[in-house]
Amino acid sequence: MFTPNFLGMMGKPIAGQLGMAVAFTIILGLIIHILRMRVFHPLRRYPGPWLNSITQVPAAWALLKARQPKAYRELHEKYGPIVRVAPNELSFINVEAWDDIYGFHKSTPNFEKSPVFIGAVSPLNGQTGISLANNEEHTRQRRALAAPFTNRALLQQQDILQVHVDKLMTALRTKARNKESVNLGEWYTYTTFDIIGDICFAEPFGCLDGGESNDWARAIINIFKAATWDQAIRRVAGTGTLLHKALVKIIIPAEAAQWRTIHFSNSKAKTLARLADPDRQHPDLIKHILDSEDSRAALSPTEIILNMVLFISAGSETTANTMTGWTYFMLRHPAARARATAEVRAAFASPRDIKWETVRALPYLNATLEEALRLFSPAPSNQPRVVPLCGAVVAGCALPAGTTVSVAPWAAVFSPINFADPEKFAPERWLEEGADPRYAGDRHAASQPFSTGPRGCMGKNLAYFELRLVLAHLLWHFDLEPTDSAAGRECMRRWDETDMDTYQTWMKPDLWVELKEAKR
C-alpha cells in the first residue's frame, strides 16, 4: 500500500524557505555594510579602490603576497597623496603626515600603535618590550634604555665595530686575491649579525669566522615573515579572536614557532649570562644598563630580555639590507662610485684613520648613503597608528578617533610631490655645498628610513656609524665592479626591477661583485 510521506513533503518547502531567509539576511547585511562604508562612513570622501573601502581583504592580501610597499605605491600613484586603503584606514605620502602621525604631540596624546601591528617580539608574562609597549610604557622603557645609545656609548663601542670590520676586510681580501666573485649581500649579513650580537650582550654570532650563516641568524630573518603573515590575519580576523587563532594555525607554517623559539631562547640565554657577569668590562648594551642605576631600577629582567630580542632582530638584517642596496647603486652608477672612492682615499692615509669622528665629515659618501636609504629604505612598509580619542588633524585632514593612519614610506620617496626625478639615484640632492639646483625643491623630510618621533629608531646613530664605517673601509680597500656572469646579471636584473619580497624589511637578492685590491 502506498503511504504519502507528508513529513518529507512539508520539510522541503520549509527548508527552502529557511535557505531563502538566510540568503536574504546575508544579502541585506552586505548591502547595509556597503552603504555604511560607502555612504555614511567618515572616510567616504577619500579616494581609493572600491573594494578596499568595504573590506580589509585587499590590505591583508598585499601583506600575504609580501608586496605592501609596491601595492601602496601603485595606489598613491593612481589616487593621490591620501588613499583609503581599508574601510577605516588612510595611507599618506605628504611630508606633514610624518610628524602628524608619528611625532611628539604637546597638547594631545601621541598616536598609539595599531593592534594590527606585531613585530618580531611577542609579549611575555604580561610584559612587552619597547616595540609593542603602549605610549606610557614606551616612554618609561625608552628613557631607561637611553644610556647605551648616547654618543659617549657609541665612542666606547667603536672598538667592537672595528674588530668585525677588520674580519670582513680580511675575508674580502682573501677573495680578491683568489679572484673569486663575492656575494656581498651575504657577507654584509654575516657582519651585521656578528656586530649586533657583540653590541647587545658581548656574544657575536660567529658568522664572519665561519664565512656562513647559522640557524639563529636564519631564524631571525624568517621571524619577519611570520610577523607579516600575522598582521594580515589580524586585519581580517581581529586580534586574539578564535578566528585569529585558527587562521594562524592554518596560514603560518608550523616551523614559524621554531623560528621564534630559536631566537627567543638564544637571546634569553645570552642576556641572562651577561646579566650574571656584571663585572665584565665590555661596552655592550647590557653593560651600559648595568652601569646605570636608573636603568636597572626601571627595567625588569624580562623587559631587558625582550628588548635584547628586539635589538638583535631590528639591528641586523635591516642594516645589511642598506649596505647591499648602497652597493647596488654604486655598481650601477660608476661616476658616483668613483667620486665616493676618491673622497674616501683622499681623506684617509690609513684605514686606522677611519673613525666615528672622521667618517661623518665625508659629504659625498654620506650623500650616497642618504640617497640609498631613500630609494631602498630598510623599513619600506606602513607602520599603522590609531587616532586618539580627541581626534586629530593629519596633513590638513580632520579625522575622528579610532581612524587608522600611516605613511607609505616607499610611495612617499618615489612621489614627484616630494622629490624631483624621484626614481633617479642622485646623491647631489643631499649636498649642502655645490648642490644641484634641480633638487632645490626636494622635501628631504619625506624620507624617514628610521621613522621619527617618540618611537623613532633608538639605534639610528649606531646604524649610521656601522654603515659609514663598513662602506668607507670597503671603498678604501677595494675597487668594485659588477660580476659579468649569468648569475650576476640575473641578480642585477632583480635589483633593477626591485624584484624582491617585503616582510617588514626587504628579502634582498644576492649581489655578486668583483673586488680588486686598491693600488697605492
Name the nearest CA neighbour of 202 among 141, 274, 291.
274
Mean pLDDT of 318-328: 98
In tens, the pLDDT along 411-467 reads 999 999 999 999 999 999 999 987 789 999 999 999 999 999 999 999 999 999 999
Is 457 marked within a binding site?
yes
d(CA 410, CA 91): 12
Least confident of 111-120, 162-171, 205-214: 111-120
Helix ranges (DSSP H) in 380-485 = 409-413, 460-477
* pLDDT beyond 60 at 358: yes
Beta strands at 404-407 and 89-92: parallel, antiparallel or unpaired = parallel
- Cα-to-chain-centroid distance, residue 372: 15
Domain at 135-517, CATH homologous superfamily: Cytochrome P450 (1.10.630.10)
Question: How much is the pLDDT for 488?
Answer: 93
The amino acid sitting at 484 is D
Q: Cell 664565512 belongs to which residue?
A: 211
For residues 306 and 127, is the Cβ–Cβ distance under 8 A? yes
Give me the residues paired with residue 407 across strands: 92
Round to whole Å and give the CA distance between 15 and 28: 20
Please name the residues in contact with 183: beta carbons below 8 A apart, sequence gap of 6 or more.
Answer: 510, 511, 512, 513
Q: Is the pLDDT of residue 513 over 90?
A: yes
Where would I find the H helices in 238-316?
A: 242-251, 255-275, 285-291, 293-298, 301-314
Strand-by-strand arrangement of the 512-517 sheet = 182-183, 512-517, 478-482
Q: What percent of the chain has pLDDT over 90?
A: 76
- Tell me: pLDDT of 386 over 80: yes
**Structure letter (DSSP) for residue 434:** S
User: In angstroms, rounded to a whole number, what is the distance separating the alpha carbons of residues 107 and 100?
Assistant: 13
Domain boundaries, the chain: 135-517
Please report the pLDDT score of residue 10 as a whole number: 47
Helix axes 242-251, 215-237, angle to 10 degrees: 140
What average pLDDT score do residues 360-382 get?
98
> Does the model's pTM come out above 0.85?
yes
